Amino acid sequence: ARCLEELGQLDEAIRAYRKFLSQYGVVTPKSGKTATIELVTDSQYRLGLCQLAKRQPAAARRTWNDFLAKQNPPADDSDSLAERLASTKYRLAHTYGLPRPATIGDLELGVALAEQFLKAHPNHELAPKAELEIAQGFERHRRNVQAIDRLEGLIANPNYEASKQLADARRMLGQSYFAQREFDKAIEAWKEFLDKHPADSRWPEVQQSIIGAEYTAALH
């Protein structure tokens, strides 16, 4: 199943993961042998990844919700299982299209799941990414005020000061302020981006955005 997944043969990988789980991952497996928690939970997690990659979000959501339900409470206290559970909670929001949800309904459901992940794992390495994806979802549907609140919270959080998401957050903050015609705040956000992220590949683009904002502000 892993080989098929790595080769991008996702339909075959999905079938292989399901076969493995039916043979070794249930209480009374067909094979008569039960696999370790490590193998079973990894198969459940990766089955969901394959389903999501095949644009089967509802199936991935069912797989992951079933996985989380069966591991509540967790079968053991290993770091690998804890990490898999946290990653599953993070990725559940993606089954509703976050950070690019198609509809307002998907946006709200995706944000709700991302909020659940953040509440359960506020210091996880994926937490700033979840915050950024929530803001991206809001921005996609032109909820700029909500996007601004989210981005400012991400930037101000001391737990995220080393996060690689900060560059995108500062750039997006300027875009959101610009969309609100708050030109001075947009320019301030972009200047902070230039100061904090001089090696970022979008540095010239943001520099040009500042010039454009100054010109637009003068016309406005």
The tens digit of pLDDT for each residue in 60-116 reads: 999 999 999 999 888 888 999 999 999 999 999 999 999 999 999 999 999 999 999
- φ, ψ of residue 72 in degrees (nearest 5): -125, 95
- φ, ψ of residue 198 in degrees (nearest 5): -65, -20
Q: What is the C-alpha separation between 67 and 59, in angstroms, rounded?
A: 12
Summarised one tens digit per residue, pLDDT across range 113-172 is 999 999 999 999 999 999 999 999 999 999 999 999 999 999 999 999 999 999 999 999
The tokens 């509540």 sit on which residue?
A: 72
Distance between terminal CA atoms of the chain? 58
* C-beta of residue 45 within 8 angstroms of C-beta of residue 88: yes
Cis? peptide before 73, omega within 30° of 0: yes
* C-beta of residue 106 within 8 angstroms of C-beta of residue 66: no
Supply the pLDDT for residue 48. Answer: 98
Which tokens in the block code for residue 203? 């540095």
Q: What is the C-alpha separation between 95 and 83, in angstroms, rounded?
A: 19
Q: What is the C-alpha separation between 183 and 96, in angstroms, rounded?
A: 33
* C-beta of residue 178 within 8 angstroms of C-beta of residue 208: no
Summarised one tens digit per residue, pLDDT across range 2-57 is 999 999 999 999 999 999 999 998 777 777 888 999 999 999 999 999 999 999 99
Distances from the Cα of 77 to the Cαs of 29, 71, 194, in angstroms? Answer: 24, 11, 44
Supply the pLDDT for residue 27. Answer: 72
Supply the pLDDT for residue 75. Answer: 84
User: Is the pTM for the entire model greater than 0.85?
Assistant: yes
The tokens 């737990």 sit on which residue?
A: 159
- φ, ψ of residue 126 in degrees (nearest 5): -85, -5
Q: What angle do CA 139, 209, 151 make, to 5 degrees?
A: 35
